[in-house]
Structure 1
Amino acid sequence: MPAPDAFEQAKQLFLDGLQAFEAQRFDDAERLFQSSLALLPGRVSTLINLAATQVKLARPQDALATAEQVLAAEPGNADAWFHKASALGQLERHREALAGYEKVLALGTLPAAEPWLRHGQTLQALDQPERALTSYERALAAAPGLAQAWSNRGGILREMKRNEEAAEAFRQALAHGADPELHHYYLASVSAQPTPPTAPAHYVETLFDDYADEFDAHLVGVLGYRAHDTLVRQLATLGRGPFRSTLDLGCGTGLCAPLLKPMTQRLTGVDLSSLMLDKAQALGLYDSLVHADIVDHLRGTDERYDLVTAADVFIYVGDLEPVFAALDHAMQAHGLFCFSAECASTESADFELLPSLRYAHSERYLRALAARHRFDLLQLIRAPIREDQRESIPGLFVYLARR
């Protein structure tokens, strides 16, 4: 039995840990909970909050061990099961995570909305969208204002091409406090709502940070992506170069680098995703890598590039006027700007946001931009960019020279 002063000290450390957790100071919260446990070992309430904190810190092995410590003492503790399932999900042990959430729901001692939400997310990770929809419906039956469930439901319906239902789900998500910029972007992809000029920067950054480890294998191997290869190999036929300084806009993991490096003295890459840049750095082909928005970099750089490339970058940028305007600052006279774009379904619009959440551009718009910003069109070809659901996605490959 701890001494009274030790008990009071442990209690205060626990309360301080809760306060740190609520303030999202998770490192502090973990330290405080561990200090409390040093004085009161095995205290279930402290262990449960420690497991929750370790999940927030993305340390699933630690969270799993902490949750198991609770379950050894209290096999029916729903909170511990919930944190165990969350940790298993982070470890990509999705079938075990699903069983964990089902255990939480069977115990019935926690509010049902969040477990059903996580159940749906886990089913999505297991590529079971129809079942996931049912889980989200159960979550919304328990908590009609759960914005994340509306958002996830909308995402599945969008992928199923049930656009009207998807639009309503995104409207409900917005009505219940979901990220406005992101969900107006989602809504515009499936409805007649005005098209935003670009994808939200935080959406693109998160998307590619999450995608970094499997990007090359999935994009090239699964989706048959070839925009980088088509863009640079066609550039080589124009009889220009070698180049002094090349900028690879939206360089990602560096797919263009092996093709660009032999034709340039200096190669710079810029990307929004820090994890993508880590992969590019490992290639050892870039002289410089910059973590930045492409327009911000073009506006702020002291370098003057004689070659700028953008392979499959403008699928996340609708309005290209700021890009072309920034190139006025960053390019040498007679330099080349070479890029790919997805073909719009109509020439009547400058650009459109597709249900795939990708932008597509009209040839008319790209020609007008080039003329307005003092570029001569050297070549424009149409060729596939990638495959989507076994259909070839048509692209435009544009080669411009500064006057």
Structure 2
Amino acid sequence: MTQPPDAPTPQKQEQGFERARELFLQGLDLLSRARLEEAEQAFAGSLALLPHRISTLVNLAAVRVKLGWPDEAIEAADQVIALEPGNADAWFHRAESLVLADRRPEALESFAKAGQLQSAALPWFRHGQVLQSLEHDDEALDSYQRALTADATFAPAWTNAGNILRERSRLREAAHAFRQAIAHGGGDALNTYYLASVSGDAQAGAAPGQYVEGLFDSYAEGFDKHVVEVLGYRAHEVLASETVRLAPGRWFRSVLDLGCGTGLCGALLKTCSERITGVDLSAHMLAKAKQGGHYAQLAQQDIDGFLRQTDGRYDLVMAADVFIYVGDLAGVFAGVQRVADEGALFCFSLEELGADAAAEFELQPTLRFAHSERYARRLAAEHGFDWVHALRTPVRYDQRKPIDGLFVFLRKRAT
């Protein structure tokens, strides 16, 4: 029996197979080097020559997820699942695609399927992360525990579980989780900070920069509305209004706004100042501050570093709700002393540590530092500042409960 005239010969079939294999291997190499669009084209080209190849479809789904192409990634993953329903990788890529498409409740089912099909921590970890994003923390904790059952060395699951336990005031369990995360190589700086918050470690000096930057980069959109309307945040208003009251009619030549965020202080100080400089770690926050148009200069830098390096001189230094991320304030006081003119005002807010506390400052389970009045008074005296005024009023509300605030107003002494 003869073949139809258009049927490929065995030689052409072999050539097609070899070319498909070549493109597949090329795609793997390009994917390993993060040349994603080229890798996607190579995998697609391989499939055109050798359709329904499971390994090629799985990698095509993976690279499309990395490219942020959810619909195309789901299409590739679904082809695999139709051919091989027990393919855990395909279910995982399908789940990630659904997250990209903001179809998170649907993604949960696919992550769970991937977790059921293979003994691996990652699917259950991602399942937990999605549950947390949907504010289902109790269920998320179960998912992290399932991830750790699959792999007890998976440090990110220990960290996330620890933070849920911390927020639930289950501090001993949280401390155990953070110690496990550290033991298994899970970002020592962050987990050490988390551990200090639940173990009463008074030696923690400041929040890690990566924590503060990441927190506020993710928080920048909608920050003002949330902190003012939801948390009842008023620190910027209290500092600005009290500063004006204490220095009526004063025109500030050069203002330094430490931890300026989106520019809430700058907006209030523009009517009594010539030039305002803002400093913040978060690029996204600074972008919002720039939109307001109140700042002559904006610097993305940590506070200590800026105060050590700047050539600027200032007659007003503000820090509204900033020192909750800095425990040891000695470096900040030394830096402000260096850059402040004689007679300059240094005004800031603190979460107040109770007068009966033995420590001068303390990292709390909320991941915020609280400081005592006696600590602020000691640092002021040691760094050449007179104590002008202090005011007690809530800095914000947490779970509808007021958070005690101490607003401090200092003046630099003449030398």
Does the alignment reach a TM-score above 0.5? yes
Q: Distance in 2 between matches of 1:73 and 1:186?
A: 41
Shift of 1:305: 1.0
Partner of 2:277, secondary structure, is strand
Map 1:155-174; keep pairs closer than 5 Å: 155-174=163-182
Shift of 1:39: 4.8
Please give the per-residue CA displacement for 1:222-254, whole angstroms capped at 9, x wherever unaligned: 111111111111111012521011111111111
Partner of 2:143, secondary structure, is helix
Counterpart check, 1:139 vs 2:152 = no
2:362 equivalent among 309, 330, 352: 352
The residue identity in structure 1 corresponding to 2:369 is Y
Counterpart check, 1:38 vs 2:45 = yes
Counterpart check, 1:80 vs 2:90 = yes
- % same residue: 50
2:379 equivalent among 360, 366, 369: 369
Q: Distance in 1 between matches of 2:380 and 2:292?
A: 33
Distance 1:146 1:46, change over 3 A: same
Task: Name 2:107's counterpart in structure 1.
Answer: 97
Task: Name 2:287's counterpart in structure 1.
Answer: 278
Q: Contact (CA 8 Å) 2:21, 2:46: kept in 1 or not?
A: no
Q: Contact (CA 8 Å) 1:44, 1:70: kept in 2 or not?
A: no
CA RMSD of aligned residues (A): 2.0
Q: Contact (CA 8 Å) 1:248, 1:308: kept in 2 or not?
A: yes
Deviates more, 1:185-194 or 1:265-274: 185-194
Counterpart check, 1:215 vs 2:223 = yes
Distance 1:143 1:90, change over 3 A: same
Q: Contact (CA 8 Å) 1:52, 1:63: kept in 2 or not?
A: no
Partner of 2:345, secondary structure, is strand
Task: Name 1:178's counterpart in structure 2.
Answer: 186
Task: Name 1:70's counterpart in structure 2.
Answer: 77
Distance 1:8 1:122, change over 3 A: closer
Map 1:254-273; keep pairs closer than 5 Å: 254-273=263-282
Tell me the TM-score normalised to structure 2 length. Answer: 0.89
Q: Contact (CA 8 Å) 1:68, 1:80: kept in 2 or not?
A: no
1:227 equivalent among 235, 249, 256: 235
Q: Contact (CA 8 Å) 1:48, 1:66: kept in 2 or not?
A: no
Q: Contact (CA 8 Å) 2:36, 2:66: kept in 1 or not?
A: no
Partner of 1:244, secondary structure, is coil
Unaligned stretches of 5+ residues in structure 1: 21-25
| Matched length | 392
Shift of 1:53: 4.0
Q: Contact (CA 8 Å) 2:24, 2:42: kept in 1 or not?
A: no
Q: Contact (CA 8 Å) 1:47, 1:66: kept in 2 or not?
A: no
Unaligned stretches of 5+ residues in structure 2: 1-12
The residue identity in structure 1 corresponding to 2:375 is Y
Shift of 1:4: 5.7
Partner of 2:376, secondary structure, is helix
Shift of 1:333: 1.5
The residue identity in structure 2 corresponding to 1:69 is A
Task: Name 2:7's counterpart in structure 1.
Answer: none
Q: Distance in 1 between matches of 2:212 and 2:101?
A: 23
Distance 1:78 1:325, change over 3 A: same
Task: Name 1:23's counterpart in structure 2.
Answer: none
Shift of 1:388: 0.8
Please give the per-residue CA displacement for 1:33-86, whole angstroms capped at 9, x wherever unaligned: 3234235446553443344345446x2xx0442232331453334323212322
Distance 1:171 1:216, change over 3 A: same
Partner of 2:246, secondary structure, is coil
